[in-house]
């Protein structure tokens, strides 16, 4: 069902399914160019035990795009505040948060702000920074990021068609098309702005403040967030564990959902949220 009772839920197009309350909640948040429908291969596996709470980043999917203010959303903190507003209005605590790519860091920021709202974090292909610098391997040189953003702004649809195979698996055209269509259904101006915020953000200094246990799921062949990023996060998040999934691209929830589900199940069994 679609929740339509409060402004935060409408703004983020929150949908709730799965087990009824008081079952624990599992919250899913998508990355750049996607929306909540990207979890359709993953979320149903948990529907018998958890309330499934899916939302769209403001500016994506069926969210209230009129609420997207470029100045307000000039950092990831505004998206973290949106996530927290949803959790408050649903009166949720100790949730299991599953975030993809930049949404992983949005979840980290939200958990730092209000740690009692989060029981566990599942960070899928996360990166606190996408630019290499001294002592950090983030996947891109600064000039590469600028070229990527310039290409996106010059020809958004052409950029989307070329980026989708990189983010998924070029040998699986149905998945490439799924992500391409998702990019095409995102407002280009908002997508370009969010991409700039994403690729130029740096949240390495925030990592030591996270106290919520976290599972880092890294793709083995990911040029956007390579395994070295997962190792860096493992070393800088106090209560974390790392699992590497042998799949191409940056979107294991699309290319290897079964492996992602198994790793999440193992994480929750080893470190159960609820007694």
Q: Look up 253 and say whether it is catalytic.
A: no
Q: Look up 101 and say whether it is catalytic.
A: yes
How long, in residues, is the chain?
Answer: 275
H-helix or E-strand spanning residue 266: helix 257-270
pLDDT digits (tens, 9 = 90+) for 144-200: 999 999 999 999 999 999 999 999 999 999 999 999 999 999 999 999 999 999 999
- Apex 115 CA angle, 29 and 106, nearest 5: 30
Residue 271 has pLDDT above 80, yes or no: no
The CA distance from 270 to 275, in Å, is 12
Q: Look up 162 and say whether it is catalytic.
A: no
pLDDT digits (tens, 9 = 90+) for 244-264: 999 999 999 999 999 999 999
pLDDT given for residue 6 in this prediction: 54
pLDDT given for residue 212 in this prediction: 97
CA pseudo-torsion sign 25, 31, 33, 39:
negative
CA pseudo-torsion sign 202, 204, 210, 212:
positive
Which member of 101, 127, 182, 201 is catalytic? 101
* Nearest by Cα to 136 from 210, 206, 59, 236: 236
Q: Which tokens sit at 12?
A: 């983020």
Q: Which residue would you say has higher pLDDT here, 214 or 271?
A: 214
- Nearest 10 degrees: Cα torsion 28, 31, 33, 34: -20
pLDDT digits (tens, 9 = 90+) for 3-32: 444 599 999 999 999 999 899 999 999 999
Query: By three-state DSSP, how is residue 105 classified?
Result: helix
pLDDT given for residue 103 in this prediction: 98
pLDDT given for residue 1 in this prediction: 39
Q: Which residue would you say has higher pLDDT here, 26 or 270?
A: 26
Which member of 30, 100, 203, 250 is catalytic? 250
Contact 71/2 with Cβ under 8 angstroms?
Answer: no
Contact 51/23 with Cβ under 8 angstroms?
Answer: yes
CA pseudo-torsion sign 32, 38, 41, 45:
positive
| CA 128 from centroid of its chain's CA atoms | 12
Number of helices and strands (H, E) in the chain?
10, 7
Q: Which tokens sit at 234?
A: 């493992």
Residue 269 has pLDDT above 60, yes or no: yes
Which alpha helices (H) appear in 4-140, and where do they start and end? Answer: 7-11, 77-89, 102-113
Domain ranges of the chain: 7-129+203-270
% the chain with pLDDT above 70: 96
Query: What's 7-129+203-270's CATH class?
Result: alpha beta
User: Model confidence at 273, in pLDDT bands (50, 70, 90)?
Assistant: low
């Amino acid at each position: 069902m679609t929740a339509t009772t409060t402004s935060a839920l409408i703004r983020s197009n929150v949908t709730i399914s799965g087990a009824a309350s008081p079952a624990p909640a599992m919250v899913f948040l998508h990355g750049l160019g996607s929306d909540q429908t990207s979890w359709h291969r993953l979320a149903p596996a948990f529907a018998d035990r958890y309330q499934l709470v899916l939302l769209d980043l403001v500016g994506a999917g069926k969210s209230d795009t009129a609420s997207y203010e470029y100045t307000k959303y000039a950092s990831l903190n505004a998206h973290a505040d949106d996530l927290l507003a949803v959790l408050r209005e649903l009166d949720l605590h100790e949730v299991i948060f599953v975030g993809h790519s930049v949404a992983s860091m949005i979840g980290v920021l939200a958990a730092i702000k209000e740690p009692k709202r989060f029981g566990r974090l599942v960070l899928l292909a996360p990166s606190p920074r996408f630019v290499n610098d001294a002592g950090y391997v983030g996947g891109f040189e600064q000039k590469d990021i600028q070229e990527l953003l310039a290409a996106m702004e010059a020809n958004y649809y052409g950029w989307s068609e070329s980026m989708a195979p990189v983010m998924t698996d070029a040998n699986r055209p149905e998945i490439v098309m799924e992500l391409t269509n998702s990019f095409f259904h995102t407002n280009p101006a908002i997508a370009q702005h969010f991409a700039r915020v994403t690729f130029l953000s740096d949240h390495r200094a925030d990592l030591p403040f996270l106290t919520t246990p976290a599972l880092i799921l890294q793709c083995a062949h990911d040029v956007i967030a390579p395994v070295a990023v997962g190792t860096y996060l493992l070393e800088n998040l106090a209560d974390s564990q790392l699992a590497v999934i042998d799949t191409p691209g940056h979107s294991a929830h699309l290319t290897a959902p079964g492996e992602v589900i198994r790793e999440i199940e193992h994480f929750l069994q080893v470190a159960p949220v609820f007694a």
